[in-house]
Amino acid sequence: MRKIKNDSNKVIYLESLLNRFEFNDNLKKGFMFFVGGSILLPTYENEIELLQIASRQISEFDINEKFEEILGPLRDIVIQSFFEEYIWRLDVKIETKKIKVPGTNIEVSEFKFKNHERLSKTETKIQKFFEKEVFLNRLLECVGKELSLQGYNLKRSFEAGNCFFNLKAQSDRNCTTQLLYTINHNLTPILDWILMVARSSNSVSSDEYLDIQIALTGLIHGQDKKFIELFWSFQSCIFYFEQKEIVGIPNLSINEFQIHCREKAMYFMSITDTSHIHNVAIKRIHDENFPSLVSGVDEKKLFDDVFNHIFGESKNNKYHGNVHLKSLIIYSYFCVICETIISNNSEISLQ
């Protein structure tokens, strides 16, 4: 991987990735605001210096000199309420630091995780993938709207997030860390990939991947190595045949794409060593609720019922929503493959 020479290059590249998946301007700014906080949070011991390099690649600024200029125009309490409500909707418990008001028995804290009714007037708690997608996008769009009101561009949005979360960490470091950590681990797959690019001190090329493959990379991020290797072999046969791309597959309708994935699931089992699949399947990393393929049985309705039960119903008609939906269909048919091998169904026929 090559080094990135200056901040403008990296900002341009991150924007090109966000544009590639057709995220709107407010969401892009809200995401960069979050990146400004996430880049403060190392995930392993030796990452601090690398994150500092990555941060300077996006924007090299003196936080002490620019702090008031950057945060001053923003309604930081409003922005904070968006994050507080999102954590509340995730139903994640984060312990806040309690500070006693001098001369009283009253305790206050920097964060108030509750339903501010800014993301939604409902009491909805996030339980399934597509609910998370809706509320995460809404969170970032709401933050981005605040930034847009002040005319902030992507670079300035990153600086604002960096200043904002630095300030919050001074008041309650543990709570701020847990908030960032929670959102990091609840990003949708495409944004998870773009965050990885933003946090990397080396340039990460995305050009060799299809859009759905980028989502798949985020989807299986952190999984067992053997699981990832087998899964990646399966997704390859969906998009490629004899090392050449099958033209038009990403553009199929959802129904056509599902039919194609089912056919390729059977093909994959016919060309792959059964013991190899079995060794991954018995680890039970995949979702075991999906049906196995059985000769003479059309499992489509059961597949759809299980899919909706696990992931919910996609209500995002934007391009990035379509990419996420198709990536989950691929993942689901990989689960079907695992269940089929475990169930020892030797006869498979397409209905």
Dump pLDDT digits (tens) for 120-140: 999 999 999 999 999 999 999
Residue 205 within any structural domain of the chain: no
Is residue 248 domain-shared with residue 151, that is, in the same domain? no
The pLDDT, as a whole number, for residue 345 is: 43
Are both 128 and 243 inside the same structural domain? no
User: What share of the chain in percent tops pLDDT 90?
Assistant: 76
For residues 296 and 311, the model is more confident at 311
The per-residue pLDDT for 8 is 67
d(CA 133, CA 137): 6
Mean pLDDT on 192-196: 96
Q: Do residues 106 and 159 share a domain? A: yes
Helix or strand or coil: residue 244? strand
Report whether 29 contacts 157 (CB < 8 A).
yes
Residue 243 is assigned to a structural domain of this protein: yes
- Pair 217, 311 in one domain: yes
pLDDT tens digits along 198-256: 999 987 888 889 999 999 999 998 889 999 999 999 999 999 998 899 999 999 999 99
Q: Is the pLDDT of residue 5 over 60?
A: no
Q: What distance in Å separates the CA atoms of residue 32 and residue 156, rounded to the nearest whole number? A: 9
Domain count, the chain: 2
60 has pLDDT over 50: yes
Same domain, 266 and 153: no
Tell me the average pLDDT across 74-96.
95
Domain that holds residue 336: 211-342
Domain-located, residue 204:
no
Whether residues 182 and 97 share a domain: the answer is yes
- Tell the burial category of 66 from Cβ atoms under 10 Å away from its Cβ (0-12, 13-18, 19+): middle
Q: Which of 175, 182, 174 is nearest to 91 (CA)?
A: 182
Regarding whether 164 and 114 lie in a shared domain, the answer is yes
Least Cα distance to 267 among 248, 244, 240 occurs for 240
| Residue 261 belongs to a domain | yes
Tell me the pTM: 0.91
pLDDT at 99: 79
Beta-carbon count within 10 A of 115 CB: 16
Determine, yes or no, domain membership for 193.
Answer: yes
Domain edge (last residue) among 177, 199, 221 = 199
All residues at 6 or more sequence positions from 164 whose CB lies less than 8 Å from its CB, including other chains: 33, 36, 37, 71, 74, 76, 79
Whether residue 239 contacts residue 209, with contact meaning beta carbons closer than 8 Å, is answered with no
- Residues 6 or more apart whose Cβ sits within 8 Å of residue 98: 107, 108, 109
DSSP 29-54: HHHHHHHHHHTT--SSGGGHHHHHHH
* Same domain flag for 195 and 224: no
Domain boundary among 199, 231, 265: 199
Same domain for 192 and 271? Answer: no
